[in-house]
Amino acid sequence: MEQLIQKAILVGVNLNHQDDFDYSMEELANLAEACDIEVVGVLTQNLVKVNTSHYIGTGKISEVMALLEANDGNLVIFNDELSPSQIRNLESDLQCKVIDRTVLILDIFDQRAKTREAQLQVEVALLKYMLPRLIGLRESLGRQSGGVGTKNRGAGETRLELDRRRIEEKITALSKELEQVVAHRQTQRKQRKKNDVPVVSLVGYTNAGKSTIMNAMMEMFNPSQEKLVLEKDMLFATLETSVRNISLQDHKSFLLTDTVGFVSKLPHHLIKAFRSTLEEVAEADLLIHVVDFSNPEYERHIEITNQTLKEIGITDIPTLYAYNKSDLTDHVIPEVQGDIVYMAAKPRIGMNELVEQIRSRIFKDYIRCQMIIPYDQGSLVSYFNQHANILETSYEAEGTKLDLECRLSDYGKYEEYVIDLAK
Ligand SMILES: Nc1nc2c(ncn2[C@@H]2O[C@H](COP(=O)(O)OP(=O)(O)OP(=O)(O)O)[C@@H](O)[C@H]2O)c(=O)[nH]1
Ligand SMILES: [Mg+2]
């Protein structure tokens, strides 16, 4: 473990006046903070085209150097992914460690990953990020030793070739292990699917309040049964998908999943690595897109989240928007406007409204009917008591008479006992 306090200069290039540039620099500072790095200076440059050798213009290099010296900095963080040769050139000119946004995000994920699956996913992403950088290094060594082509391998080159092979083998081994973990989870998921319970997934930008909503729901509908999930004021508090059963008062139930949040410029390898985690989301019947409505940039967050969802192939799942943290705004809460619920999960305002909106969207396949269940089928009555909304129970000569709302599939199964459809 490195004990040295990291003091960083952030460097950003604003290519052709991107309107989200300032915001992405602010976010870079938050990412650094999440890695326990102190930001001691920021430098930006407007460019029409990046400088292939150093990313920033060579004139700017001395400015970075001056900032490093003046602030005792020992690290430079670039807002965009750098090529292997750019990192090399910058490090040799600046005489200090240079990293990019991608490494920062990978590092946060690496620190936070707790389950084996998340750890494997992050490790694969890290190795995949390293691989081309290693090859870049090999190319430069090859050039130095004057070797061209593959016949004339220098000693250094061979070693790197070995390193490269080792990394590739490791990626293969880890990917295999990951596949097994994923297969296991898929079996569990299939099992759940068979039970015919709707799945609702919380999605959204990191720190929007997804885990807080999950916990609030559990408090309301699943008090003692299962563990709460971690909610914390930091980026990427949640990395693994948790699934909890939410059973409403009328015994209609659904599964609620909480998962990793998104951020702009999420490294491609990472999105790919987390695809299996996000498969849960892909199979949801309803998405709750959680938005930090108190964040001035909330519209941008919505856009980035939708874009990321699209990248993992999620486009046509009905979506409800939870405009969370509205307690920090002037907006009246709770309020429902179409697909938007203005609410605040932390002080528990608008939770009932949110649940009502979920309910009206996912329990469409319920049917109201009356049944008479013979007295020798007592277990069926208790089944319905647990899995249906019983509106009235009375005892007739032929059996127990239930006026109930039950799942269509149960209705089909026990149609022989139905005496009347909805009144
Ligand atoms: N004021 C206020 N704070 C909230 C509200 N909901 C959540 N928070 C706080 O916001 C922070 C982030 O909440 P989380 O639930 O961890 O957010 P998340 O979306 O799960 O974040 P990641 O797991 O990092 O993607 C925590 O400090 C919460 O206490 C709210 O309605 N109002
Ligand atoms: Mg969370």
Same domain, 12 and 99: yes
Look at the chain and count its residues. 423
Ligand nearest to the CA of residue 242, numbered in listed order: 2
Q: Which atom of ligand 1 is least distant from the CA of 260?
A: 25
Q: How far apart are CA 60 and CA 105, in angstroms?
A: 25
> Which residue has the least CA distance to atom 30 on ligand 1?
325
Q: What is the 238 CA–ligand 2 centroid distance (Å)?
A: 4
Q: What is the 262 CA–ligand 2 centroid distance (Å)?
A: 10
1 part of a folded domain: no
Domain-terminating residue out of 170, 190, 210: 190
- CB distance 293 to 192 below 8 Å: no
> Which residue has the least CA distance to atom 16 on ligand 1?
231
Q: How many helices (H) and strands (E) does the chain have?
A: 13, 15
pTM for the full predicted model: 0.79
Same domain, 330 and 358: yes
Helix, strand, or coil (residue 30): helix
383 part of a folded domain: yes
Same domain, 299 and 201: yes
Task: Tally the C-alpha atoms within 13 A of residue 313's C-alpha that lie toward its C-beta.
Answer: 9
CATH assignment at residue 101? 3.40.50.11060
Same domain, 211 and 310: yes
Domain-terminating residue out of 362, 379, 410: 362
Q: How far apart are CA 176 and CA 68, in angstroms?
A: 43
Burial of 194: CB neighbours in 10 Å, binned 0-12, 13-18, 19+? exposed
101 part of a folded domain: yes
Is residue 325 within 6 Å of ligand 1 at its C-beta? yes
Q: What is the 254 CA–ligand 2 centroid distance (Å)?
A: 19
CB environment 208-230: b (16+ within 10 A), e (fewer):
bbbbbbbbbbbeebbeeeeeebb
Residues 6 or more apart from 212 whose CB is under 8 A from it?
A: 231, 324, 345, 346
Same domain, 134 and 104: no
User: Contacts by 386-389 with C-beta closer than 8 Å and gap 24+?
Assistant: 386/251, 387/251, 388/251, 389/250, 389/251, 389/252
Q: How far apart are CA 397 and CA 417, in angstroms?
A: 14
Same domain, 351 and 234: yes
Is residue 357 within 6 Å of ligand 1 at its C-beta? no
Same domain, 98 and 134: no
166 part of a folded domain: yes
Is the interface score ipTM higher than 0.90? Answer: yes
Task: Tally the C-alpha atoms within 13 A of residue 177's C-alpha that lie toward its C-beta.
Answer: 13
Same domain, 350 and 203: yes
Q: Which residue has the tokens 């596949």?
A: 179
Please tell me what DSSP assigns to residue 415: G
| pLDDT value of residue 72 | 94
Same domain, 318 and 238: yes
Same domain, 221 and 135: no
Q: What is the 276 CA–ligand 2 centroid distance (Å)?
A: 18
Q: What is the 292 CA–ligand 2 centroid distance (Å)?
A: 13
Tell how far CA 131 is from the center of its chain. 25
Ligand nearest to the CA of residue 213, numbered in listed order: 1
Phi and psi for 28 in degrees, rounded to 5? Answer: -60, -40
Is residue 112 within 6 Å of ligand 1 at its C-beta? no
Domain count, the chain: 4
User: One digit per residue, pLDDT tens: the chain, 423 residues?
Assistant: 445 689 999 999 999 888 889 988 998 998 998 888 999 999 999 999 999 999 999 889 999 999 999 999 999 999 999 988 899 999 999 999 999 998 888 888 888 888 888 889 889 988 888 887 775 544 444 444 433 444 444 555 666 777 888 889 999 999 999 889 888 888 877 777 666 788 999 999 999 999 999 999 999 987 766 678 888 887 888 887 888 889 888 888 899 999 888 888 777 777 777 777 777 788 899 999 999 999 999 999 999 999 989 988 888 999 999 999 999 999 999 999 999 999 999 999 999 999 999 999 998 888 999 999 999 998 999 999 888 889 999 999 999 999 999 988 899 999 999 998 755
**Interval 267-325: pLDDT, tens:** 777 777 777 777 778 889 999 999 999 999 999 999 999 998 998 888 899 999 999 99
CB environment 287-311: b (16+ within 10 A), e (fewer):
bbbbbbbbbebbebbbebbbebbee
Give residue 396's identity as a one-letter amino acid code: E
Domain-terminating residue out of 159, 190, 221: 190
Same domain, 210 and 125: no
Same domain, 147 and 245: no
Burial of 271: CB neighbours in 10 Å, binned 0-12, 13-18, 19+? middle
Q: Which atom of ligand 1 is least distant from the CA of 328?
A: 1
Range of the domain at 381: 366-421
Q: What residue ranges in 54-159 does DSSP mark as E strands? A: 75-78, 97-100
Q: How far apart are CA 149 and CA 147, in angstroms?
A: 7
Burial of 148: CB neighbours in 10 Å, binned 0-12, 13-18, 19+? exposed
| pLDDT value of residue 143 | 43
CA R_g for the chain: 27
| pLDDT value of residue 93 | 94
Question: Pairing mode, if any, of strands 366-374 and 319-324?
Answer: unpaired
174 part of a folded domain: yes
